[in-house]
Amino acid sequence: MFSRWVPKLIFSALLGFANGMVWANASEEIEELIRNKQWTQAQQKLQLAIKQRAQAPNSAASPQWRLMSSQILAGQGEIAKAVEELQALIQEFPELPEPYNNLGVLLALQGHYEAAASALISAIQARPNYKIAHQNLGDLYTAMAQSAYAQAKNIKEGPGLLPLPAPSAATTTLTNTHTLR
């Protein structure tokens, strides 16, 4: 009896390993297509991989493939659908930083800076050493500062403006030290 199920067990293990290799190869190919901005081919390859994976028992679309799907949607200009996919992914897998990061980037592109900052901070909270999220947050803060500076530069002086506050420290000419008022 032992000898009957051992070959089945080995075959199942090999089949699972082969499925894992197919999944890994498909993921690498899709990622390459995304890097090369070949959105249509990436989408077709992804849909085929999902369809093949769905035929296996107890399988669902992996978070990685759903993340790739959102990248493809964004690349095709379907930002709203990409945002929806990322928000759904965050609801299901709140521990993953990548969806937060990508959501933050898309929100920033739409000019929703505060929401983008919140998403990027969530990515960093999920993985404190997530370098890309830190860089994206820095870029976002830089863009926000540049926008604020441009707005301030365009404000015309006039009676509607409040006067500038007095400095909180004064410099004396004798000793060149700062004294608080």
CATH number of the domain enclosing 135: 1.25.40.10
Residue 152 domain flag: no
Number of domains in the chain: 2
- Tell me which residue has tokens 């690498």: 28
Same domain, 47 and 105: no
Same domain? 54 vs 78: no
E strand residue ranges, 24-167: none
Domain membership flag for residue 95: yes
Assign 157 to helix, strand or coil.
coil
How would you class 99 by CB atoms within 10 Å of its CB: exposed for 0-12, middle for 13-18, buried for 19 or more? Answer: buried
pLDDT at 142: 96
Whether 176 shows a pLDDT value over 60: the answer reads no
Domain coverage including residue 95: 68-144
This prediction has a pTM of 0.69
Asked if the model's pLDDT at residue 100 lies above 80, the reply is yes
Contact, 65 vs 27, CB < 8 A? yes
Neighbouring C-beta atoms of residue 102, cutoff 10 Å: 25
Q: What 3-state class would DSSP assign to 173?
A: coil
Under 8 Å between Cβ of 130 and 97? yes
178-180 and 169-171 beta bridge pairing: antiparallel
Q: Domain boundary at 61, 78, 98, which? A: 61
Q: What is the mean pLDDT of the chain?
A: 79
Q: Which of 55-59, 81-85, 106-110, 151-155 has the lowest mean pLDDT?
A: 55-59
Tell me which amino acid residue 106 is. Answer: L
Question: What are the tens digits of pLDDT across the range 122-171?
Answer: 999 999 999 999 999 999 999 999 999 888 888 877 766 666 666 666 55
More confident residue, 16 or 114: 114
Domain end, chosen from 40, 61, 82, is at 61
Q: Which two tokens stand for residue 101?
A: 């990061």
